[in-house]
Amino acid sequence: MCTSISYRKKDLYFGRNLDLEFSYHEQVVITPRNHLFHLRNGEDFYNKYALIGIATVIGDYPLYYEASNEKGLVMAGLNFPGNACYLSPKEGAVNVTPFEFIPWLLGQAETIMEIKELLQNLNLTNISFAKELPLSPLHFMISDQTSSIVIEPMEDGLHIYDNPYDVMTNNPPFEYHLWNINNYRNLTPHVGTNNFSSNYELQTYCVGMGAIGLPGDASSASRFVRAAFHLTNAPKEDTEDANVTQVFHILDSVSMLKGSTLTQEKKNDMTLYSCCINASKGIFYYKTYDNSQIHAVYLDHVDLNSDGLSCYDLKKEQRIHYQN
């Protein structure tokens, strides 16, 4: 379970909640330019653009959950079980594995238009990183300064959707979410009017009544509607701090609380971390479930032409400022 959003003012801010029952020891990871990736199709790939995002690093290989490149293009993989389908390598196709997908795209593209060109002959293959680390069933959201798309690898091929809502969650497939949101066309951030009947003088007794019916549960369909409603009506602020704060508040509105949602194995599905990437400036902000203080890592504060990855452990212990 996860939620991602794109919020635009002058800059592009990409927000994401990672909802999972356990951690893979993820870190904030900066991949410099011209980092060597040995692709499973037998080719070597050197990324043209530096990346910053959260990844699990195994053997100097960053397995990115989401990332932004230095050109302001950002991408995230979200859980898509039961629908995601990866295929065997195909002769004549561009064969890329899901764990290579984020650095492969962000390492060479600057815009959504370029992404769509790269996807034309793409085949996402069913090759795992290691026997003990099987492939995660994923679909993907990609955003630039002007638009967002969703990519869903399914049994009948690769589905690519324009994403006018700048929101993505999980199952069902994205086409369902595009239709389901029609059920909430009556919602408004305003007080609302009496559409029930002109025969009754129905009273407005508090603010917020225009949004009665906004779903509050943790299902992916409900989180999609809730995130889209808050994102669409969120004011665009004038300062970096205010915009970052607004993104985190939107993410908080769809976060998973420990104890509120259990997996089939009766484990807590919870928001392990929330992040906000200023993709335009290369600043990665995050907070964790146990530490609500916002931390920041700057892409351009490291040598982007260096030889190795720059990794930063997530600060997970709560920090409380005592005033007296």
CA distances from 206 to 200, 210, 211, 278 (A): 18, 10, 11, 36
> In the annotation, is 2 catalytic?
yes
CA distances from 316 to 33, 43, 49, 192 (A): 29, 38, 29, 42
- Choose, from 2, 85, 206, 276, the residue flagged as catalytic: 2
Torsion over CA: 59, 66, 112, 144 (sign):
negative
Residue 208 identity (one-letter amino acid) = G
What is the set of active-site residues? 2
